Amino acid sequence: MPRIQLLRFDHAPALLAFERENRAYFAASVPDRGDRYFADFDQRHAALMAEQATGACFFHVLVDGAGEVLGRVNLVDVADGAAELGYRIAEKAAGRGLATAAVREARGLAVAQYGLTVLRAVTTLDNPGSRAVLARTGFVPTGEVDLDGRPGLAFACNLLVETG
């Protein structure tokens, strides 16, 4: 079973391949990263590593046994015991429970490694898969949001409460 790993510099080639291979798939449900993201990937990756070193964010990759990146699970805007959760799973790995398992694993790290007590997340209304992952991992809706002109929902998860 793939496991999440804290993002490292040596993940860059596999992470770039993951983002390129899944660009169109991701753009169907979240705003596209744009051409600059790919053109400036090395600089962007170095910036993420520097940001992670400050403790303001914890970036993770979901990696299989062969070192292929199958997903990302990020905890950003860490402050006052809380962070924003974001995740994406490769198209070829979707529907296998990997997002649910990775979010559960990130929840555990959030408490044990990063000392967090609350996670927040948002998703569009037209992304039932993401809403299902959040529900299965203990997130509850907290209100409606606008995500780049698309209706969505905000969620929160109290990490001090056990989930199934």
User: pLDDT confidence of 112, banded at 50, 70, 90?
Assistant: very high
Determine the pLDDT at residue 164.
55
Whether this model's pTM surpasses 0.85: yes
Would 163 be classed as within a structural domain? no
Average pLDDT over residues 16-43: 91
pLDDT tens, residue by residue, 62-97: 999 999 999 999 999 999 999 999 999 999 999 999
Would 131 be classed as within a structural domain? yes
User: pLDDT confidence of 44, banded at 50, 70, 90?
Assistant: very high
Determine the pLDDT at residue 149.
87
Residue 1 has pLDDT above 60, yes or no: yes
Q: Roughly how many angstroms between the first and final C-alpha of the chain, as a whole number?
A: 19
Contacts of 139-143 with CB under 8 Å at 24 or more apart are none
As for how many domains the chain has, the answer is 1
Would 55 be classed as within a structural domain? yes
Question: What CATH number does the domain containing 9 carry?
Answer: 3.40.630.30
Cβ atoms 88, 24 nearer than 8 A: no
Structural domain boundaries, residue 60: 3-158
Task: Determine the angle formed by the axes of helices 12-21 and 41-53, rounding to 10 degrees.
Answer: 120
Would 84 be classed as within a structural domain? yes
Would 164 be classed as within a structural domain? no
